[in-house]
Amino acid sequence: MLFCPKCSQEIDERDNYCRRCGRALKPGTGFWYSHSGIILLMLVLGPFALIPLYMSKILSLRAKAIYCAVITLFTLYLGYVCWQIFTLTQQMLEATLGMPY
């Protein structure tokens, strides 16, 4: 016999979610592995969202491929913006202090 850790309802070992309260019972089925969870993690963690994306049992292979491409592009864009800020800062330092850093 297995029981839900949240509401103590009896559960089947094949269930991914509790039938009474809806709690995720298996790894890879919680909120962070859903569509909204992956998008949220991507915005916060960037490329590290690839880990829950890979572990997710909710998303289809096609959805995973799309999210993987989006996360990669998002990471590249973030890197590009960081590089822009870096070079701009260098230029400003050179202009104000008159020497290269």
- Dig out the tokens for 1 from the structure: 């016999």
Q: Which stretch binds Zn ion (CB under 5 A): 12-20, 41-49, 69-77, 85-93?
A: 12-20
Nearest to 32 by CA among 47, 7, 54, 60: 54
Place of tokens 């963690």: 45
Regarding 49 and contact with Zn ion (CB under 5 A), the answer is no
Amino acid at 17: Y
Q: Which stretch binds Zn ion (CB under 5 A): 21-29, 39-47, 61-69, 70-78?
A: 21-29
Nearer to Zn ion, 6 or 57 (CB): 6
Among 10, 15, 21, 77, binds Zn ion (CB under 5 A): 21
C-alpha 84/C-alpha 92 separation (Å) is 12
Nearer to Zn ion, 21 or 85 (CB): 21
Regarding 4 and contact with Zn ion (CB under 5 A), the answer is yes
Q: Which stretch binds Zn ion (CB under 5 A): 13-21, 37-45, 46-54, 77-85?
A: 13-21
Q: What is the DSSP letter of 93?
A: H
CB 41 within 8 A of CB 52: yes
